[in-house]
Structure 1
Amino acid sequence: MHSPVIVWLRRDLRLSDQPAIAEAAGKGPVIPVYVLDDETARHRAMGGASRWWLHHSLTSLDAALRGKGSRLILRRGRCEEILPALVEEIGASEIHALHHYEPWWRNAEKAVGKRIGLCLHHGNYLAPPGSVTTGSGAPYKIYTPFWRALNERMPPPESLPCPDAITAPETWPQSDDLASWNLLPTRPDWAGGLRDFWVPGETAAQTRLDALVAKAHRYKEDRDLPSLDATSFLSPHLHFGEISPARIWHAVSDAGGSVGTFLGEVGWRDYAQNVILQFPDYGSRSARDPFDSLPWRSGPEAEADLRAWQQGRTGYPIVDAGMRQLWHTGWMHNRVRMIAASFLVKHLLIDWRRGEQWFWDTLVDADYASNAVNWQWTAGSGVDSNMFVRIMAPLSQSEKFDAAAYIRDWVPELADLPDAEIHDPAPMTRPRSYPPRLIDHRAARERALAAWEQARR
């Protein structure tokens, strides 16, 4: 029998359209390995919601592998130490993996590659990050020309099929017990809403994609309406690599109507990876210099406002609905994410990094690139971003995008109010159980603009 081949898995937890698995399966016995490496990621180790998802995604992948005659090996520690030791233990000939672009994974790939044979494949994006460049060979910083250039290279290659079988080694190496990793919350168990809303894994990702195909032609018309289930709900499945963007593209590209808007959102994911490839510290450093001088609020009052925002107690119904949806399900409607993020940065004048950190811990789709790029876009601090002086008005946004039913779902204190009042409850009709506004919109706007002028000087 040939020497076994290791497949190093990270955010690519699928069997279909998985180039590393496809390549390894043609070489002989395969040992799929997932290493929980919090040490390399350090302060970017997965947050609580992502760890919940990971537990169930690994369970699903192991079951799928066993159906192919294989299984998943779990190890914990630094990848650059665990993988070489495993190679020596089992006499593996090489390791196959998909490229990852978060700065800690790029460092890990270099460290592992220096010690053992590491074969890296592309497959988590529509095109390899860094490959879409201007005529002069420079990387794009602005989304629109990036998307135009990427779109010219579409469609992506056809998806690779799932292997019929995966050859097992003569003996399996020892594996950690998944339960010993303590990825699931217990004291307290706050994941009830996540269990009710999500089913992680490759099969569930395909189910979500099948549902999207029927509605993708109306994506542009319906995606901004939080009261409708019109978005794809594919973001956590994409983040954990339970489905490939190429598979999604081929499934929906012929849907007609406004499906191009949805494909542009898949392209935004590629764009975000290209940004962090150029600016690895994008999740912690503003791209525009004036933001280094912006007088963000701090101290007890600001911290109290931050907690109110986190708990959905700002007094702005659309913001509170979004933040409560996030806490309950680990996800938030995209239009509401923009409103809630803008509120923190511009109404409360709290540093965008505090919001990014909260989303990192509470989102099941907490992707380093997308999270950082979206927060910097909303704050106005990014290389391609909204202007800081463009301040979203949450009350009018709520009415414009018909969020009444959404608010009733997540802010039950207001459920009895009619549509005409629920977006902006008057003092006389506002229930006592619902908090007053932390700050009026006009006062918040004036404070934010004054802070911006100070930063510019």
Structure 2
Amino acid sequence: MNDFKGLDLPEKPVIVWFRNDLRVSDNMALTAAAQTGNPVIPLYVLEKDDETVPLGGAQEWWLHHSLASLSNSLERLGAPLVLRRGEAANILKEIVDETGAGSVLWNRRYVPAQIKRDAALKSDLRDSALAVESFDGQLLHEPTQLKTGSGGPYRVYTPFWRAFSESCHPRPPIGAPKELAGFKAKLASDDLKSWSLVPTKPHWAGGIGEEWTPGEDGAQERLKHFLSDALDGYADGRDFPGKEHTSKLSPHLAFGEISPFQIWAATEGNRGEVPDRDFTTYRKEVVWREFSWHLLVNFPDLRSENYNSDFDAFPWREPGDELERWQKGTTGYPFIDAGMRQLWRTGWMHNRVRMAVGSFLVKHLLIDWRHGERWFRDTLVDADPGSNTASWQWIAGSGADAAPYFRIFNPILQGEKFDPDGSYVRQFVPELADLPDKYLHKPWEAPEKTLRKAGVTLGETYPKPMVEHKGARQRAMAAYEEMKRKTG
């Protein structure tokens, strides 16, 4: 266990400010507070008007249930969670005034605007004679830690992975405190329901609730299942959305219900028990998340601006109805539509399909990647400011270490290769379920008799393709050539 007794904290109540670290195990700030022996005041502030990282509807639903889980855990440990809504700086000062707290502890977060705000707040609180300490917990490395030979940040993943493997040695995770000394007086706390994070009219989150169990216990169950049933075979199986070979830990990581240190240590326990290729491939995915945050911290405009400024001259088309058809999963390409419907129903989409639907939006439809990033941010339960942005810029060709723009995913071949038995499309596009495999990913090629037998009427029960693949590819390449002419 880590020993925090060297911290110079006054013998007064300690505020632990929870943010995207909604867990009690491997929570450095919480454990440091517990080891003081002083009363601990766990606090979560809903910064509803915080535009630095606005939560989408799917993540608001998740936050409600995650906070309910955290509240139960802290109650059992002896220190109830205080919920307040407003500006964090003001709320913290209110709690200090109400309790006489002498210190504030938190775990670091890494959106550039939040780094700036936290640094200013730390300075302000210290000026008010409060002890303030921050800890790691969201990432395995500090994003400014790794430097290239020239002293700058990494822009390409492979050398980043190599540098990470050679120089970063993630600490072992720590357990949850056995108990907390609660603050004796009852503090005012908002009713979680009053925050209206769960949709009611309409209640569109039913499918998300069937798919997920938010909270620390749900995260640990998901990890346990992955290690026992899905890590073996991960390297190949992860590309097939109809198979269960992904960890699905991403939303739990996004809310900090599990730490990357816990995942790293747990996978270490499987080294030698699964093929090395599966073990290494999964760890590379964990480190891709680190790389995405490395990019975001070192290039703060990444969330809104093209990393490659040449793409500022790209001739994007106005989205119009085409964007809405993409969002609703009515493009006429079954593999694409399955992905978009999976997203809407469950709040999540398989990573292979994310690449295909992203390519379709920016290359087949020539719609700016930022429209896709915003839609994912609103509908994904795992919307992560680092990974979501870096991945959209990767697929658009405008990011660091991006896929070249001319890599245009064929939505038919993607389906035939990665959903060969059609199980994925049949699950999420059930109106095509009775089509033979031969035509499932290209129903417009099916004979009329075959369509009738399957109950499919193109243009009525299922849409015709909104663009023709070959023509769309040629149009995309012409747009790319136009951009290159403009930028010299």
Which of residues 142, 145, 151 in structure 2 aligns to 1:131?
145
Cα distance, 1:192 vs structure 2:
0.4
Q: CA separation in 2, counterparts of 1:167 and 1:434?
A: 60
Bigger shift: 6-15 or 104-113? 104-113
Code of the residue aligned with 1:445 in structure 2: it is R
Which of residues 265, 268, 271 in structure 2 aligns to 1:250?
265
Q: Secondary structure at the match of 1:97?
A: strand
1:142-291 paired onto structure 2 within 5 Å? 142-214=156-228, 215-253=230-268, 254=271, 255-257=273-275, 258-291=278-311
1:303-452 paired onto structure 2 within 5 Å? 303-403=320-420, 404-425=422-443, 426=445, 428=448, 429-430=450-451, 431-432=456-457, 433-452=461-480
CA-to-partner distance for each residue in 1:434-453, whole Å, 9 max, x for gaps? 00001011010011011111
CA-to-partner distance for each residue in 1:274-310, whole Å, 9 max, x for gaps? 1111111211111112210111011xxx311100000
Cα distance, 1:180 vs structure 2:
0.7
Q: CA separation in 2, counterparts of 1:69 and 1:450?
A: 64
Cα distance, 1:319 vs structure 2:
0.4
Cα distance, 1:250 vs structure 2:
1.2
Code of the residue aligned with 1:372 in structure 2: it is T
Q: Secondary structure at the match of 1:266?
A: helix
For the pair shown, the structure with the greater C-alpha radius of gyration is 2
Q: CA separation in 2, counterparts of 1:333 and 1:96?
A: 36
Is the 2:15–2:101 Cα contact (8 Å) retained in structure 1? yes
Q: CA separation in 2, counterparts of 1:234 and 1:40?
A: 25
Is the 1:315–1:436 Cα contact (8 Å) retained in structure 2? yes
Q: CA separation in 1, counterparts of 2:217 and 2:296?
A: 30
Q: CA separation in 1, counterparts of 2:188 and 2:314?
A: 53
Is the 1:219–1:262 Cα contact (8 Å) retained in structure 2? yes
Cα distance, 1:217 vs structure 2:
2.7
> 1:57 is matched with which residue?
66
Cα distance, 1:355 vs structure 2:
0.3
Cα distance, 1:155 vs structure 2:
4.4
Cα distance, 1:138 vs structure 2:
2.1
Bigger shift: 46-55 or 121-130? 121-130
RMSD: 1.4
Is the 1:155–1:250 Cα contact (8 Å) retained in structure 2? no
* Residue ranges of structure 2 left out of the alignment (5+ in a row): 1-9, 127-131
CA-to-partner distance for each residue in 1:237-269, whole Å, 9 max, x for gaps? 000000011111111131431111011000011
Question: TM-score, normalized by length of structure 1?
Answer: 0.97
* Residue ranges of structure 1 left out of the alignment (5+ in a row): none
Cα distance, 1:92 vs structure 2:
0.9
Cα distance, 1:420 vs structure 2:
1.6
CA-to-partner distance for each residue in 1:373-416, whole Å, 9 max, x for gaps? 00000000001100111111010011111251000000001100
Is the 1:346–1:444 Cα contact (8 Å) retained in structure 2? yes
Q: CA separation in 2, counterparts of 1:157 and 1:101?
A: 19
Cα distance, 1:271 vs structure 2:
0.6
Question: TM-score, normalized by length of structure 2?
Answer: 0.91
> 1:18 is matched with which residue?
27
Is the 2:326–2:337 Cα contact (8 Å) retained in structure 1? yes
Identity level (%):
48
Q: CA separation in 1, counterparts of 2:147 and 2:112?
A: 20
Bigger shift: 354-363 or 127-136? 127-136
Bigger shift: 103-112 or 317-326? 103-112
> 2:94 is matched with which residue?
85
Q: CA separation in 1, counterparts of 2:61 and 2:22?
A: 15
